[in-house]
Amino acid sequence: MNTTKQKLYIEYPLATKSPGLVWEQIGTVHGLGRWLADYVEDVGDDVISFTWGEVWTDHHTLEARVVERQRNSYIRLQWVNEEDPEAYWEMRIGRSDLTDELFLHVSDYALPEDIDDLHDLWDGNMERLHRVSGL
């Protein structure tokens, strides 16, 4: 069985021309809590806790360390329990030279058999981002 993770790269168009508006959703704990997980909190030392489901019942919590970030540009995180030192997930704001439209470039890693599920997960995340923010 192949245990080497593959990189997934997806580009999503955004309905704004303001990198600052996008950054508020992808680069802040409050913004991430609006669309990426049910509960998001800063636990200190550049570690963010993500919880899916209600904390008093069935839920799943993961912590990610912020590896790099540049305001209004990108945020790169790595799951605290990640065994592959090369695996991370990143959201990067890009702009089309031709149309001046903004895009969200998502990079993530998964085992080959999980790539399709990861792609579907990000599609769902982006649908929630659009629904809650209009981006």
Task: Indicate the Cα dihedral angle 27, 37, 84, 45, nearest 10°.
Answer: 50
Question: What is the token pair recorded at 37?
Answer: 């997980």
Helix axes 115-133, 19-26, angle to 10 degrees: 120
pLDDT attached to residue 3: 75
Question: What is the token pair recorded at 88?
Answer: 């991370």
pLDDT attached to residue 2: 58
Rounded CA separation 42/27 (Å): 12
Left, alpha or beta for 56 (phi > 0: left; psi -120 to 50: alpha)? alpha
Q: What is the pLDDT along the chain (135 residues), one digit of tens a residue?
A: 557 899 999 999 999 999 999 999 999 999 999 999 999 999 999 999 999 998 788 889 999 999 999 999 999 999 999 999 999 999 999 999 888 899 999 999 999 999 999 999 999 999 999 999 988
pTM here is 0.92
Cβ distance 6 to 112 under 8 Å? yes
Extract long-range pairs of 44-51: CB within 8 Å, 24+ residues apart. Answer: 47/80, 48/77
pLDDT attached to residue 123: 97
pLDDT attached to residue 1: 56
pLDDT attached to residue 55: 74
Rounded CA separation 125/116 (Å): 14
